[in-house]
Structure 1
């Protein structure tokens, strides 16, 4: 018999709400109030999320973000900065003790990313898992989509989806970005470079390292179409049934409280952070 997980379709929400809801769902799952969760969402307004460790000063162009109306938020998970704009975002919340979850962070990535792989198959896109041999050279860039990590999805060697994972209170939280389109001009206007020439060189090189869904399909896929494909993909890849879940008032109250943290400068602009689980 297949395992039943909750499916949360929260639509397009503010960056602070998106991060607060992921944390609240993790808390509820850790307390045994809800089973594992798959959540799909978008961002309104667009956001740039920075990794738990990542410095903002000297890396992120806050003035550029304001110019575009993009809000900055710090994730619980590590990794590099991600522009969340024309994309489908997913999050998975599941206990570390779940029988399908390996103890190794790297291997848990592989298990959970099977849902992404099957989602791309639903869209007739030939994607595969990144491995150290296929990931290419490390760039040292602050931009997430410049280089894939273990078991992230690549299309013809280009990074197609970025994910990050942490473990807290016995629960795995993995969330990630599935771009439908990438606005390279906007993206690189959000990062600081020593000169305009350096920025332009980085932007041109980026095209050889990252790809979006609508770059490889003959007809553009909408947010709703991508959501349907990846929902089916996660059901197949993880061998689960998804049950729609309406967020109860008590959970939304917790989200409202947590959202204050994700809106605060103290949280979003801290320069140094202690170790967090990353592969």
Structure 2
């Protein structure tokens, strides 16, 4: 029997509201107030999200953030920093005790990323999972420089990134599905030992990561992506998606959390 999830497209929001929304969806679901949720969203401006355990002062060039006007926000999830710009972002919130969700984080990634896999196929793209035997545990500070376990590849290059946490009996997974990547901005935002190393990393990036536009050689609208990946989650994860709407009171809670937590220096720069 297919499970039923709620589906919500929250559109374009700023970085702190996007992260507050994902946390509140986790919180409400843990209290049984909302069903499992698949959420699509975008970013009001190019934004850098960093993993929960990342140290800003070691990896990020704060002067470059100011120069580009890029807001920084810390995620609940781990992993490396992601520049969110020209992309579709998704999040999944559901209880850990679902019979189709393995206890293993890696296996859960595999099950849930079947929706992303099918979405790419719906766009006419051929993708594959990163080969686990060749998996490199030495993570880069830049998310798209190295694939993690069960992340998706196109022609041997990483094409999407995701991260996961489990709290209060609830699994939260969110991921980035880029149309294009601004390589100049991306590598300017990180610290390197010298400029030569920065430029070498920037130039080698094309051999490590790719995007939908690069692979298809043509422009794909965000609406087309939403259609493809929504259908992909339904078929790939074998679920039924039904429209879901937040109440005005729930939106107020999201904005309050955004200001008090995700807009604070204490949270983002710890």
TM-score, scaled to structure 1: 0.94
1:255 is aligned to 254
In the alignment, the residues of structure 2 paired with residue 69 and residue 44 of structure 1 have an alpha-carbon distance, to the nearest angstrom, of 12
CA contact (8 A) 1:5 1:241 kept: yes
1:145 is aligned to 144
Where in structure 2 are the equivalents of 1:77-96 lying within 5 Å?
77-96=77-96
RMSD value, Cα: 1.2
In the alignment, the residues of structure 2 paired with residue 111 and residue 251 of structure 1 have an alpha-carbon distance, to the nearest angstrom, of 29
Residue 218 of structure 1: how far off its partner (Å):
3.0
CA contact (8 A) 2:137 2:148 kept: no
Residue 139 of structure 1: how far off its partner (Å):
5.6
In the alignment, the residues of structure 1 paired with residue 185 and residue 46 of structure 2 have an alpha-carbon distance, to the nearest angstrom, of 11
Structure 1's consecutive aligned runs of 4 or more residues displaced over 6 angstroms after TM superposition are none
Unaligned runs of 5+ in 1: 271-279
Residue 195 of structure 1: how far off its partner (Å):
1.4
1:9 is aligned to 9
1:55 is aligned to 55
Identify the structure with the greater helix proportion.
2
Unaligned runs of 5+ in 2: none
Residue 138 of structure 1: how far off its partner (Å):
5.6
TM-score, scaled to structure 2: 0.97
In the alignment, the residues of structure 1 paired with residue 139 and residue 233 of structure 2 have an alpha-carbon distance, to the nearest angstrom, of 31
1:189 is aligned to 188
Residue 236 of structure 1: how far off its partner (Å):
0.5
1:273 is aligned to none
In the alignment, the residues of structure 2 paired with residue 132 and residue 126 of structure 1 have an alpha-carbon distance, to the nearest angstrom, of 19
Number of positions where the alignment pairs a residue of Structure 1 with one of Structure 2: 269
CA contact (8 A) 2:158 2:209 kept: yes
Deviations 1:170-206 (Å, cap 9, x if unpaired)?
Answer: 0000001011001110100110112111100011111
In the alignment, the residues of structure 1 paired with residue 115 and residue 51 of structure 2 have an alpha-carbon distance, to the nearest angstrom, of 23
